[in-house]
């Protein structure tokens, strides 16, 4: 099976207040094959926000797919209300914990880099040792590792 990464965030309303009991839904878009022969065509994961609006999901790493042909879409729902946010085209490059906000900034470039090995990927990690602990097959010589102290 493909590796997974823990993706997390904080759901707040327009006034900056935490949304307790909100729902976050992540949907895998596209299809791809992984080195072990696994082919995944659909996946949907969801979770409920805690009292502080925090949430986390364990999701398949898109960067391990042979064709870099999948992305994640995230949607947030207030309790008992329609969808209030939608984030599309999220690409998880490696099996490291990440914040949705960081992936939103780096996804487009990381999709291009996954399809063209000569391009640079941008990976966030709390320290370089965490990045080095990834299996060799998930690290590249041209990765740029952005150290975000205190990140997951």
Mean pLDDT, consecutive 10-residue stretches, the chain (152 aa), reads 92 91 96 85 93 96 88 92 89 92 90 84 89 85 84 60
Question: Does residue 113 fall inside a structural domain?
Answer: yes
CA distances from 48 to 58, 117, 126 (A): 13, 37, 25
Question: Does residue 102 fall inside a structural domain?
Answer: yes
pLDDT at residue 4 in the model: 93
Question: Does residue 152 fall inside a structural domain?
Answer: no
Question: Does residue 74 fall inside a structural domain?
Answer: yes
Residues 6+ apart with CB under 8 A from 82: none
Domain that holds residue 119: 4-147
Question: Does residue 13 fall inside a structural domain?
Answer: yes
Number of domains in the chain: 1
């Amino acid at each position: 099976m493909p590796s997974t990464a823990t993706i997390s965030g904080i759901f707040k309303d327009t006034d900056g207040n935490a949304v307790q009991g909100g729902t976050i839904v992540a949907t895998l878009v596209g299809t791809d094959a992984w080195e072990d022969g696994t082919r995944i065509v659909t996946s949907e994961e969801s979770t409920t926000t805690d009292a502080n609006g925090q949430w986390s999901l364990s999701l398949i790493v898109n960067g391990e797919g042979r064709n870099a042909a999948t992305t994640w879409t995230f949607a947030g729902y207030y309790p008992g209300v329609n969808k209030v946010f939608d984030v599309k085209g999220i690409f998880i490059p490696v099996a490291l914990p990440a914040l949705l906000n960081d992936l939103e900034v780096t996804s487009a470039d990381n999709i291009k880099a996954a399809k063209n090995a000569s391009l640079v990927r941008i990976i966030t990690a709390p320290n370089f040792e965490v990045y080095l602990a990834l299996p060799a097959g998930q690290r590249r010589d041209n990765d740029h590792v952005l150290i975000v102290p205190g990140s997951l």
